[in-house]
C-alpha cells in the first residue's frame, strides 16, 4: 500500500515543477533529500549568473567576446540542461510509482524533455558559434584583412629585421591606445586600401578619450625607420607597397602601417583592429541602426554603392537614423559640395561614438553575442579578448565632454602636393604640438624636437 505522503502525486505536475526549477517536483512528491540534491546545482548556477551580472547586462554580454568565456558558458548551459532533464524524468518517475498517468501525462513529460533538450542545445550552439567567431576576430589564427600570407619584410642595406612583430603593451593603470582601420578589401580590388585610419586613446587618469583620424591620402611623411615617403605614395597603401618591396620596411606590411601612424600621431599604439566594409554594414544592422546629427547636407553624385550599377548619395542635414548601407555611405562619401576626405573622417568618428553609445544600451544585451558571431570573418584585432568587458564597463562611465575628436586636415596638413594623386601632407610640427596637447607626457614628442617639415 503506498504511503500517504506520496499517494496521488501527479507525475506530469511533478515533472512540470522540476522543469521550472530542479528539485521542486521532488519536493512536491515528498522526496526532500532528492529535492535538495537537484536544487543545489541550479542554485549554484544562479549565483554564478548573479556574480557575472554584477557590472550590468551590457558588460555581461561583452564577456562573450572572450572565446574562453563563451566555451565555459557552453559547458554550463549543457550541464544545466542535462541536470534539468534528469530532474524532470526523476520527478515524473517518482510520481508514477504512486499514480499511473495516462497518455496525456506521458505526453506532457515528453514535451518538457524535448523543450529542455532543444532550448539548451540551441543556446549551446549559439554560444559555440560565438566562441568560434571570437577566436577568429581576436586574431588567434591570423586574418586575410592584414595580409597574413605576405612574404617577409624587405630590408634596405644596413637594416636589420625587428625581432618580433609586437606592439608595446600598456603600462599598469596607464593609457591604452588602439589603431582602428577600415579596409576596402572587395574582390574587385587588386590591393587592400585602409581608407579609415583612426587612433583611439583612453587615459584612465583623466577618464578621457582622444580620437585622431589620419587622412588616407597623406603622403610625403617621414618614416619611423628613416627616410621620407614620396608624394605619390599614400598612407592607406603602405601595406601594399611593403608587400611588393617598393617600401623597404623592417616590419611586415600591416605592422608598418601601425608603427607609421604611431610615429606620425606621436603616441605608442598598443593594439590594432581592422574591419572590412561588409563587416561595418553588418555591425550597424545588427544593433538596429544608429542615430547621427548630420552637420551639413551631402550630395555626392559620384558615390559608388559597391554594386557596380548605381551612383550618387544624398543626405539632408540634421538628425538621421541610418541602417548599415547608408551608414557606410555616410562614412565613405567625400565628393560633392562642402564635402572632403577629412569631413568624412570626422563623420567616421561621429559614427564610432554613436555606435558605442548604442551598444552601451541595455536593450542591446541580446544583440551582442549575435554581433560577435556575425563579425567573425569581417574583423580582426590583437586586443585581449578577456579585457573587452572591462573596457566596455569603463566606456559606459566616460562623459561625452571627455571625448576629444580631431581630424588631421587643415590646419594640420596641406592638400594638393601632388597633382596626379591629390595627396595631403601633414605639417609635422603642428601635428607634434597637437600630440602633446592631447596626450601630455605620453606623447612621443613630449620634451623632444618635432620632426622636420617634409612637405614639398
Burial class from Cβ neighbours inside 10 Å (0-12, 13-18, 19+) for residue 452 reads exposed
- Looking at residue 313, what is its pLDDT? 92
Does position 2 have pLDDT exceeding 50, yes or no? Answer: no
Distance (Å, whole) CA 333 – CA 340: 8
Does position 148 have pLDDT exceeding 60, yes or no? Answer: no
- Looking at residue 385, what is its pLDDT? 85
User: Greater confidence, 309 or 171?
Assistant: 171
* For residues 317-327, average pLDDT: 94
In the chain, the percentage of residues whose pLDDT exceeds 90 is: 47
Q: Using one digit for the tens of pLDDT, what is the confidence trace for 6-32?
A: 455 788 899 999 999 999 999 998 899
Q: How confident is the model at residue 1 (pLDDT cuts 50, 70, 90)?
A: very low
The answer to whether 269 touches 178, Cβ cutoff 8 Å, is yes
Q: How confident is the model at residue 150 (pLDDT cuts 50, 70, 90)?
A: very low
Burial class from Cβ neighbours inside 10 Å (0-12, 13-18, 19+) for residue 8 reads exposed
* For residues 257-272, average pLDDT: 96
- Looking at residue 140, what is its pLDDT? 54
| Residues in CB range of 330: below 8 A, 6 or more apart | 292, 294, 298, 315, 320, 322, 347, 351
Query: Residue 9's CB: how many other CB atoms inside 10 A?
Result: 21
Q: Helices 103-137 & 367-374, crossing angle to 10 degrees?
A: 50
Q: Using one digit for the tens of pLDDT, what is the confidence trace for 224-238?
A: 999 888 777 889 999
Q: Which cell numbers in the block locate residue 185?
A: 578589401
Residue 272 pairs in a beta bridge with: 179
Q: Which helix (H) or strand (E) holds 415?
A: strand 413-415
Query: Residue 329's CB: how many other CB atoms inside 10 A?
Result: 21
Indicate the SS3 state at residue 125.
helix
Distance (Å, whole) CA 67 – CA 135: 6
Indicate the SS3 state at residue 160.
coil
If we measure between CA atoms, which residue out of 345, 63, 24 comes closest to residue 180? Answer: 345
Q: Which cell numbers in the block locate residue 270?
A: 598598443
User: Greater confidence, 456 or 119?
Assistant: 119
| Residues in CB range of 122: below 8 A, 6 or more apart | none
Q: How confident is the model at residue 183 (pLDDT cuts 50, 70, 90)?
A: confident
If we measure between CA atoms, which residue out of 274, 215, 224, 217 comes closest to residue 247? Answer: 224
Distance (Å, whole) CA 437 – CA 24: 64
Which of 93-97, 115-119, 225-229 has the highest average model confidence (pLDDT)?
115-119
The answer to whether 63 touches 134, Cβ cutoff 8 Å, is no
Distance (Å, whole) CA 381 – CA 375: 12
- Looking at residue 408, what is its pLDDT? 94
Distance (Å, whole) CA 41 – CA 38: 7
Does position 327 have pLDDT exceeding 90, yes or no? Answer: yes
Q: How confident is the model at residue 3 (pLDDT cuts 50, 70, 90)?
A: very low
Count of alpha carbons within 13 angstroms of residue 408, beta-carbon side:
31
Q: Which cell numbers in the block locate residue 219?
A: 603622403
- Looking at residue 161, what is its pLDDT? 56
- Looking at residue 221, what is its pLDDT? 92
- Looking at residue 319, what is its pLDDT? 95
- Answer whether 0.85 is exceeded by the pTM: no
In the chain, the percentage of residues whose pLDDT exceeds 70 is: 85
Q: Which helix (H) or strand (E) holds 311?
A: strand 311-315
Cis peptide before 411 (omega within 30 of 0): yes
Q: Which cell numbers in the block locate residue 232?
A: 605619390
Q: How confident is the model at residue 57 (pLDDT cuts 50, 70, 90)?
A: confident
Three-state secondary structure string covering 241-301: HHHCCCCCCCCCHHHHHHHHHHHHHCCCCCEEEEEEHHHHHHHHHHCCCEEEEECCCEEEE
- Looking at residue 95, what is its pLDDT? 61
User: Greater confidence, 4 or 386?
Assistant: 386
- Looking at residue 365, what is its pLDDT? 63
- Looking at residue 456, what is its pLDDT? 81
* For residues 123-130, average pLDDT: 85
Does position 101 have pLDDT exceeding 80, yes or no? Answer: no
Does position 145 have pLDDT exceeding 70, yes or no? Answer: yes
Residue 282 main-chain phi, psi, to 5 deg: -60, -40
Q: Which helix (H) or strand (E) holds 355?
A: helix 341-359
Q: Which cell numbers in the block locate residue 356?
A: 558605442
Which of 53-67, 127-141, 179-193, 253-267 has the highest average model confidence (pLDDT)?
253-267
Q: How confident is the model at residue 397 (pLDDT cuts 50, 70, 90)?
A: confident
Beta strand segments in 142-244, E: 176-184, 193-203, 208-213
Does position 98 have pLDDT exceeding 50, yes or no? Answer: no
Amino acid at each position: 500500500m503506498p504511503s500517504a505522503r506520496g499517494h496521488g502525486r501527479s507525475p506530469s505536475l511533478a515533472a512540470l515543477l522540476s522543469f521550472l526549477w530542479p528539485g521542486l517536483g521532488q519536493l512536491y512528491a515528498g522526496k526532500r533529500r532528492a529535492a535538495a540534491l537537484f536544487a543545489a546545482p541550479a542554485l549554484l548556477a544562479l549565483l554564478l549568473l548573479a556574480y557575472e551580472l554584477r557590472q550590468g547586462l551590457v558588460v555581461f554580454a561583452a564577456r562573450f567576446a572572450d572565446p574562453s568565456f563563451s566555451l565555459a558558458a557552453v559547458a554550463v548551459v549543457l550541464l544545466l540542461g542535462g541536470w534539468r532533464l534528469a530532474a524532470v524524468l526523476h520527478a515524473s518517475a517518482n510520481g508514477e510509482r504512486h499514480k499511473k498517468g495516462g497518455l496525456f501525462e506521458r505526453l506532457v513529460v515528453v514535451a518538457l524533455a524535448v523543450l529542455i533538450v532543444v532550448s539548451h542545445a540551441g543556446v549551446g550552439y549559439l554560444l559555440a558559434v560565438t566562441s568560434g567567431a571570437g577566436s577568429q576576430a581576436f586574431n588567434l589564427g591570423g586574418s586575410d584583412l592584414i595580409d597574413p600570407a605576405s612574404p617577409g619584410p624587405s630590408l634596405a642595406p644596413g637594416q636589420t629585421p625587428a625581432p618580433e612583430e609586437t606592439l608595446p603593451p600598456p603600462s599598469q593603470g596607464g593609457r591604452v591606445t588602439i589603431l582602428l582601420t577600415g579596409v576596402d578589401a572587395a574582390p574587385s580590388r587588386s590591393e587592400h586600401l585602409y581608407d579609415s585610419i583612426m587612433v583611439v586613446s583612453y587615459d584612465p587618469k583623466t577618464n578621457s578619450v582622444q580620437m585622431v583620424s589620419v587622412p588616407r591620402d597623406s603622403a610625403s611623411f617621414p618614416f619611423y625607420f628613416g627616410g621620407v615617403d614620396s608624394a605619390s605614395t599614400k598612407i592607406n597603401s603602405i601595406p601594399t607597397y611593403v608587400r611588393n618591396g617598393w617600401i623597404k620596411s623592417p616590419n611586415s606590411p600591416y605592422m608598418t602601417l601601425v608603427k607609421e601612424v604611431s610615429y606620425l600621431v606621436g603616441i605608442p599604439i598598443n593594439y590594432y583592429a581592422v574591419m572590412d566594409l561588409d563587416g561595418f554594414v553588418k555591425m550597424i544592422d545588427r544593433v538596429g541602426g544608429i542615430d547621427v546629427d548630420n552637420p551639413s547636407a551631402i550630395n555626392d553624385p559620384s558615390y559608388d554603392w559597391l554594386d557596380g550599377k548605381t551612383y550618387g548619395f544624398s543626405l539632408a542635414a540634421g538628425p538621421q537614423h541610418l541602417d548599415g548601407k547608408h551608414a557606410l555611405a555616410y562614412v565613405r562619401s567625400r565628393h560633392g559640395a562642402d564635402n572632403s576626405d577629412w569631413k568624412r573622417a570626422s563623420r567616421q568618428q561621429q559614427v564610432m561614438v554613436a555606435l558605442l553609445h548604442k551598444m552601451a544600451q541595455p536593450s542591446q544585451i541580446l544583440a551582442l553575442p549575435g554581433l560577435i558571431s556575425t563579425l567573425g570573418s569581417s574583423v580582426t584585432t590583437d586586443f585581449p579578448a578577456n579585457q573587452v568587458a572591462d573596457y566596455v564597463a569603463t566606456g559606459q562611465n566616460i562623459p561625452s565632454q571627455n571625448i576629444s575628436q580631431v581630424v588631421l586636415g587643415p590646419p594640420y596638413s596641406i592638400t594638393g602636393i601632388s597633382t596626379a594623386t591629390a595627396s595631403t601632407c601633414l605639417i609635422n610640427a603642428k601635428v607634434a604640438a597637437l600630440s602633446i596637447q592631447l596626450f601630455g607626457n605620453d606623447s612621443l614628442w613630449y620634451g623632444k624636437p618635432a620632426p622636420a617639415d617634409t612637405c614639398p
